[in-house]
Amino acid sequence: MARADSVENTLGEVVRLVANEMVAEVCSIYLLRAGEVLELFATQGLNPSAVHRTRLRVGEGLVGDIAAHARPLALDDAQSHPQFAYRPETGEEIYHSLAGVPIVRAGRSLGVLVVQNRTRRQYDEEEIETLQTIAMVLAELIAAGHFVSPNEVQQVDGLGLLPLRVDGVQLTPGVAIGRAVLHEPRIAIQKVVAEDVGQELARFESAAHGVREDIDRMLEAHDMQSGEQREILETFRMFIDDRGWLERVREAISSGLTAEASVQRAFDDVRTRLGQSTDPYIRERLSDLQDLTNRLLLRLTGRAIVDPESLPEDMIVIARDMGPAELLDYDRTRLRGLVLEEGSAQSHVAIVARALDIPVVGRASDVLARIEPGDPIVVDGDNAQVLVRPAEDVLQSILDAIDARIQRRRKYAALRDLPPTTRDQVRISLNMNAGLLIDMQHLVEVGADGVGLYRTEIPFMVRSEFPDVDAQTWLYARVLDLADGRPVVFRTLDVGGDKVLPYVGTFGDDNPAMGWRAIRIGLDRPAMLRRQLRALVQAAGGRPLSVMFPMIADVGELQSARRLLDLELERASRRGQPIPERLRVGVMFEVPALAWQLDSLLRQVDFLSIGTNDLLQFLYAADRGNSRVASRYDSLSPALLRLLHFVVEKARPAGVDLAVCGEMAGRPVEALALLAIGVRALSMSPGAIGPVKAMIRSLDLGEATSFMRAALSQPDRPMRETLRLFAADHAIEI
Ligand code: PEP
Ligand code: MG
């Protein structure tokens, strides 16, 4: 009883004060209870009898919406909002405007704080910030079990202990088993209001200084394996010196908050403004800022960043999102996998994880709320899923799968030094696709002939500004050094579409894959393309160089791009710089229109590389990134194969080399079909080289070619099944 009374008193006092301060007729507090229910705990202005009676599910009504998305809402006409849910017992029908903020702690909504007014009032940013500050204090009290029993706080979000499968997206492949480490640092801000502003400012400056030093140490200590990782950390370090952000924190301190509350506030402000953005660059900046905020809070509250000894030997780290530096904080020898509620394949943390060779599943909804520290977890990057507390038999089958994978890897490793030659002695050129320096180490590991596609845009995407010619020259020269004489095909920038470069800007294409991207940007911004071509020529420094232009749709585009390359070659020779010993120029065949320009095109290129990822999406008008339509059209459809066959037949007499570098090339059955229609060079992700080589070495290409000729001349039939049967009959390893 005493406890209940004191709860009523505290919350009652808070709502009265807030209503007064905000000149609002209503102020209410809803708290989350077990079962994802938001219960009205205190109100000034609504019917008092509604307290503990009015309940909304998370996601229901405006209050539920605020909790579900953990974001503030300010509406001058709340009742006309589609989410508005009327609760007659509250008597709220007379109030028009509403502003609410989530009561959030460690990324979870624990409740909602709301004010309402009769008039159609516009709440300004400052008022929302005030509400957020109060919500922050409430969050700490809730977490300490002041209002809802600590047990219940633990159980909110419907935490269960049953096995669970959470689907996400693959950020990096592979499978790992381990025990969960929840990354949320859950830093409790004990004190929100400062007593001595000067002292708080000094505490903040000293913490910022400490974080700066930490990052510098990290830059030194982690023998950065590649330029990109180093760059990521350097970009990250720039944040702590960002004037605007530092000023925001200092202003908050001057307004009377403690240093830690001010740091949190500065972050919350940015998140409120940008949190809904789907722009990958902004999302990336946000997670960098979150990383920085956590670091500062840890310093300010005097807690160790991670106590490595307390962590399991086989860690699966679970986080909402994280910055690259945070991942590097974990002991690499114990880190097995990573699960993120957010994240994209291009995010900095994914790039670092790829370099560390750990599987990552991203966009795994609400995992933080559903996993307990220490839970057994399987991160299955290959199937884009996370298994939480898997049952024994499931675990066993995963262990079997991991084992089989290890065996397969061994088998492929044994093939490494054997040539990709068919049983009837046709040598196939097997190459790998790359995009980061770290990928280059696989070249020797998997025994590829060379790099058939170097996606130059990937290093551009992790930077905060356009790399200058020197930086690009350094990078490309490194790639050539690491290739150690094996050929590398550099594709010029293929950005635009979904590959956003922050410093180039987006142009709101409705249909980005068909929008302003790749060579179209390069030709409209010739200075940018020339800088890249200059860097490539300089990087080659007399060595052979292959340059490939992406998304060519018209021969004229190739000619314009080629002219820019010639200008760079002239420039180099004018300056007495070495020019490539052998220059090969090619285009990606991704746009179907090229099929009807082949006679002219083939006279002007040394090679063609078929990008089946884009070609298939344009051929079938099916967005490759949209799972509803992407898999609707089979890459083994007679239509695609006939088109490819047509291109092969044209390229051969023209003496133009032809390769396939889309994902299709890396799948054994598809690769079999490609070889059977006359393709002799393939380029794929490094992991696919082993399986494709095994297929090639078990294949009689003569037989496969005759089989395919007959199959393609038949009326349309499902080629995949036909090929599988053929492979089974002829003991071809697919
Ligand atoms: C392709 O389109 O097939 C290709 C290899 O290019 P990307 O996947 O980079 O668009
Ligand atoms: Mg493409």
- Could you read off the pLDDT of 21-73 as tens digits, one per residue? 899 999 999 998 866 788 999 999 999 999 988 988 878 889 998 988 888 99
**Total residue count of the chain as it appears in this document:** 734
pLDDT at 376 (0 to 100):
92
Name the active-site residue from 96, 183, 348, 645: 348
Please give the C-alpha separations between residue 495 and each of 50, 84, 352, 520, 550, in angstroms, as whole numbers. Answer: 56, 42, 21, 10, 10
Q: How far apart are CA 299 and CA 119, in angstroms?
A: 45
Give the largest Cα separation in the chain, rounded.
Answer: 92
DSSP H or E segment with residue 42: strand 37-44
DSSP notation for 650-680: HHHHHT-EEEE-SGGGGSHHHHHHHHHTT--
pLDDT at 593 (0 to 100):
98
Q: How far is the CA of 1 from the centre of ligand 1 (A)?
A: 67
pLDDT over 50 at 156, yes or no = no
pLDDT at 531 (0 to 100):
96
pLDDT over 70 at 207, yes or no = yes
Q: How confident is the model at residue 474 (pLDDT cuts 50, 70, 90)?
A: very high
pLDDT at 338 (0 to 100):
97
Strand order in 164-167's β-sheet?
164-167, 385-388, 376-380, 175-182, 315-319, 335-340, 360-362, 169-172
Tell me, yes or no, if 661 is annotated catalytic: yes
Q: How much is the mean pLDDT over the chain?
A: 86
pLDDT over 90 at 636, yes or no = yes
For 634-656, b/e burial (b = at least 16 CB within 10 A) is bbbbbebbebbbebbebbeeeeb
State the average pLDDT over residues 390-409.
82
User: Atom of ligand 1 at shortest distance to CA of 590?
Assistant: 2
pLDDT over 80 at 348, yes or no = no
Q: Output phi, psi for 26, to 5 deg.
A: -130, 140
Look at ligand 1, atom 3, and give the residue with the nearest C-alpha. 611
pLDDT over 90 at 276, yes or no = no
Question: Do the Cβ atoms of 54 and 40 come closer than 8 Å?
Answer: yes
pLDDT over 90 at 519, yes or no = yes
State the average pLDDT over residues 657-669.
94
Name the residue with higher pLDDT: 721 or 631.
721
Q: How far apart are CA 639 and CA 626, in angstroms?
A: 21
Query: How would you class 225 by CB atoms within 10 Å of its CB: exposed for 0-12, middle for 13-18, buried for 19 or more?
Result: middle
Report pLDDT digits (tens) over 91-119: 888 899 999 999 987 667 789 999 999 99
Name the residue with higher pLDDT: 247 or 227.
247
Ligand nearest to the CA of 683: 1
Q: How far apart are CA 682 and CA 610, in angstroms?
A: 9
pLDDT at 154 (0 to 100):
43
Rg (CA), the chain: 30
Q: How far apart are CA 707 and CA 719, in angstroms?
A: 11
pLDDT at 222 (0 to 100):
54
Question: Comparing C-alpha atoms, which of 483, 440, 453 is closest to residue 609?
Answer: 453
Q: How far is the CA of 587 from the centre of ligand 2 (A)?
A: 11
Q: What is the rounded (10 degree) CA torsion for 536, 540, 543, 544?
A: -10
Question: Do the Cβ atoms of 188 and 297 come closer than 8 Å?
Answer: no
DSSP H or E segment with residue 683: strand 681-684
pLDDT at 330 (0 to 100):
84
Q: How far is the CA of 211 from the centre of ligand 2 (A)?
A: 40
Q: How far apart are CA 499 and CA 347, in angstroms?
A: 11
pTM beyond 0.75: the answer is no
pLDDT at 86 (0 to 100):
83
Report pLDDT digits (tens) over 299-346: 888 765 556 677 889 999 999 888 776 787 788 889 999 999 887 765
| Ligand 1 pocket, CB under 6 A | 453, 455, 494, 590, 611-614, 661-662
Look at ligand 1, atom 9, and give the residue with the nearest C-alpha. 455
Tell me, yes or no, if 27 is annotated catalytic: no
Q: How far apart are CA 56 and CA 548, in angstroms?
A: 58
pLDDT at 1 (0 to 100):
40
Q: How far apart are CA 289 and CA 248, in angstroms?
A: 13
pLDDT at 200 (0 to 100):
93
Q: How far is the CA of 661 from the centre of ligand 1 (A)?
A: 7
Look at ligand 1, atom 6, and give the residue with the nearest C-alpha. 611
